[in-house]
Amino acid sequence: MSFAGKAVLVTGSTTGIGEACAKAFAASGVAVMVSGRHEQRGRAVAQAIAGPYP
């Protein structure tokens, strides 16, 4: 299944499995929105997955 060109919301993406999913989706070309309980960790994840936009 391909999510390329889609957008996903990953809840719990500031640590653990959620963070890994957010990074995997982003690496596959998916637009990712992160959500979690830790603001600073969420910002770090968002910066880690930020990439060039068309």
* Domain ranges within the chain, ordered by starting residue: 8-49
For residues 4-29, give the mean pLDDT. 93
Positive or negative CA dihedral for 44, 48, 49, 50? positive
pTM for this one? 0.84
For residues 15-28, give the mean pLDDT. 94
Residues forming beta bridges with residue 18, ordered by sequence position: none
Backbone angles phi, psi at 33, to 5 degrees: -110, 130
- Rounded to the nearest 5 degrees, what angle is found at the Cα of 51, between the Cα atoms of 53 and 34? 105
